[in-house]
Amino acid sequence: MFTGIITDVGKVKNITSNGDTRIILNTAFETASIDIGASIACSGVCLTVVDKGSDWFAIDASAETLSCTNLGDWVEGTRINLERAMKVGDELGGHIVTGHVDGIGEVKSIIPEGDSMRMLFTIPPAITKYIAEKGSVTINGVSLTVNEVIDHDQKPSVFGINVIPHTQEKTTFSNVKAGDRVNLEIDILARYVARMNEFN
């Protein structure tokens, strides 16, 4: 489990394909404290550490992971939001995040609002019903609050968020641009509420 609070912005060091795709990520994490087999959320995708060095760790991504996330867009130098798995007793600063991507959205527009950025994203039809105004959503691993949902005459639907300067500075939102694909994870509470309503 994760919280959606990014604790490092890493960078893709190397990508090789040999069956699965191995990705090496540079990080400022103290890698001596990271166990092989540990889970790290990489731009919202829960991945397993399979190797490590003094300032890097490696993960393997299957074809399924590449097809369901934006990992296939990564190249050497791509900046990645990183969060280590939470421990019992950790502060839950964002919301409960599983690291299982529900769909890929796309940055529709970015509009400056004061020092913040208003960003609009398209929503895959399968998860539109789970995105609610003032609810939580995880975008590339970052816990954010939905400001608006626009689903009238929009195919696909669109939702908006505001990204404050602190979040821009501490995540990869500082260099996001229109047209970028992003990993979306819906709020786990919204998922279960919707599931219970199917039986009412």
Q: 132 or 138: whose pLDDT is higher?
A: 138
Which band of pLDDT confidence, cut at 50, 70 and 90, is reported for residue 70?
very high
Q: Fold identical between 8-84 and 103-197?
A: yes
| CATH number of the 103-197 domain | 2.40.30.20
Task: Return the amino acid letter for 73.
Answer: D
Q: What is the pLDDT of residue 173?
A: 96
> For 109-127, how does the pLDDT look when each residue is reduced to its tens digit (9 = 90+)?
999 999 999 999 999 988 9
- For the cut 80, the answer to whether the pLDDT of residue 192 exceeds it is no
CB atoms within 10 A of CB 73: 13
- For the cut 70, the answer to whether the pLDDT of residue 66 exceeds it is yes
- With beta carbons less than 8 A apart as the criterion, state whether 92 and 147 touch: no
Distance CA(57)–CA(50), nearest Å, equals: 8
Domain boundaries, the chain: 8-84, 103-197
**Residue 143: exposure state from Cβ atoms within 10 A (0-12, 13-18, ≥19):** buried
CB atoms within 10 A of CB 58: 19
CA angle 187, 178, 149 (to 5 degrees): 40
Instruction: Pick 8-84's CATH classification: 2.40.30.20, 1.10.150.120, 3.40.50.1820, 2.40.50.140.
Output: 2.40.30.20
